[in-house]
Amino acid sequence: MSNEANPNETTSAENSPLRQPPRRRLTRPVTGESMTGAPSVPRSSGVEPTTRIPRRPLTPPRRLPRSEATGEATQASPSEATQNTTRSRHTRSGLSHVAESSSQAQFQTPTFLAGTPNSTNTDGTRVEAPPTTGMRSRRLEIERRKAIKRRKAAKIRTAIILTLVGVLMLACGYLAINALRGGSTVEEEIPDYEGSGTTEVIAVVNPGDTGSAIAKQLVQLDVVKSEAAFIKAWEANQAATSVQPGSYTLKLKMSGVEAVAALLDPTKRTSNAISIPPGFTIWQVVERLKAFERFTPEQVDAALSDTVALGLPAEAKGNLEGWLLPGSYEVHTDDTPADVLKTMVAATIKELDELGVPANQRQVLLTKASILEREVNNDEYMKQVARVIENRLTQPNAETVGLLQMDSTVLYGLKRAGGVPTGDEVKQDTPYNTYIHKGLPPGPISMPSRAAVEATLNPADGTWLYFVTVNLNTGETKFSSTNAEHQKYVEELSTWCAANKGSC
Query: What is the sign, positive or negative, of the torsion defined by CA atoms of 44, 47, 51, 52?
Result: negative
Domain end call among 117, 151, 180: 180
Residue 409 in domain: yes
pLDDT of residue 89: 43
At residue 193, does pLDDT exceed 70? yes
Nearest by Cα to 57 from 92, 81, 27, 79:
81
Q: CA-to-CA distance for 348 and 312, rounded, in angstroms?
A: 10
Q: CA-to-CA distance for 47 and 502, rounded, in angstroms?
A: 123
Q: CA-to-CA distance for 464 and 480, rounded, in angstroms?
A: 5
Residue 485 in domain: yes
Mean pLDDT of the chain: 78
Residue 13 in domain: no
> What does R_g of the chain's alpha carbons equal in angstroms?
57
Spatial contact of 228 and 189, defined as CB atoms under 8 Å apart: no
At residue 266, does pLDDT exceed 90? no
Q: CA-to-CA distance for 245 and 23, rounded, in angstroms?
A: 126
Distance set, CA 81 to CA 86, 406, 476 (Å): 11, 123, 114
First to last CA, the chain: 131
pLDDT of residue 384: 96
Beta strands in 376-475 (DSSP E): 466-471
Q: CA-to-CA distance for 242 and 224, rounded, in angstroms?
A: 20
Residue 141 in domain: yes
Q: CA-to-CA distance for 365 and 393, rounded, in angstroms?
A: 13
Spatial contact of 474 and 189, defined as CB atoms under 8 Å apart: no
- Percent of the chain whose predicted confidence (pLDDT) is above 90: 41
Question: pLDDT band at residue 242, thresholds of 50, 70 and 90?
Answer: confident
Exposed e or buried b for every residue in 427-464, given b needs 16+ CB within 10 A? eeebebbbbbbeebbebbbbbbbbbbbbbbbebbeeeb
At residue 106, does pLDDT exceed 50? no
Listed range (4-13, 343-352, 489-498) with the worst mean pLDDT: 4-13
pLDDT tens column, 205-226: 877 788 988 998 899 888 999 9
Query: What residue spans of 48-191 are helical by DSSP H?
Result: 78-83, 131-180
Per DSSP, the residues of 131-154 read HHHHHHHHHHHHHHHHHHHHHHHH
At residue 39, does pLDDT exceed 60? no
Tally of structural domains, the chain: 2
Q: CA-to-CA distance for 52 and 50, rounded, in angstroms?
A: 7
Spatial contact of 442 and 370, defined as CB atoms under 8 Å apart: no
Q: CA-to-CA distance for 181 and 198, rounded, in angstroms?
A: 35
Question: pLDDT band at residue 133, thresholds of 50, 70 and 90?
Answer: low
By residue range, what is the domain housing residue 412?
371-499
Question: pLDDT band at residue 51, thresholds of 50, 70 and 90?
Answer: low
Spatial contact of 207 and 243, defined as CB atoms under 8 Å apart: no
- Percent of the chain whose predicted confidence (pLDDT) is above 70: 70
Listed range (51-55, 306-310, 471-475) with the worst mean pLDDT: 51-55
The backbone torsions φ and ψ at residue 204, rounded to the nearest 5 degrees and listed phi first, read: -115, 130
pLDDT of residue 472: 79
Domain end call among 159, 180, 201: 180
| Sheet with 246-251: strands ordered across | 200-205, 246-251, 269-270
Spatial contact of 215 and 243, defined as CB atoms under 8 Å apart: no
pLDDT of residue 122: 56
At residue 261, does pLDDT exceed 60? yes
Q: CA-to-CA distance for 306 and 327, rounded, in angstroms?
A: 23
The backbone torsions φ and ψ at residue 147, rounded to the nearest 5 degrees and listed phi first, read: -65, -40
Nearest by Cα to 381 from 370, 369, 390, 372:
372
Residue 324 in domain: no
Domain end call among 122, 150, 180: 180
At residue 70, does pLDDT exceed 50? no
